[in-house]
Amino acid sequence: MERITTHPDILFGKPSIRGLRYPVTLILDLLASGMSINETLEDHEDLEAEDIYACLKFTAKLTEVKSIHKLQAA
């Protein structure tokens, strides 16, 4: 999990990969659109397979909540 970092000066503090300007959401969007891990790595040569796996693990941890409540608009 040390591959996922947050820093207020990088992407406004959004979770990113190793302090690079690759937000976790970008990687998830690419995978969700059908790109394979290998295609993602080919398009982003400074990333490593472990970075992609860290994004998936990070997101999996975020979903480990006890319950989700519907938010009411104010």
Topology (CATH) of 4-62: Arc Repressor Mutant, subunit A (1.10.10)
* 22, HSE (Cβ side, Cα atoms, 13 Å): 21
Model confidence over 30-64: pLDDT tens digits? 999 999 999 999 999 999 999 999 999 999 998 88
What's the pTM?
Answer: 0.81
DSSP state, 2?
Answer: T
CB 16 within 8 A of CB 23: yes
Name 40's Cβ contacts closer than 8 Å, sequence gap at least 6: 27, 30, 31, 47, 52
The residue ranges of every structural domain in the chain are 4-62
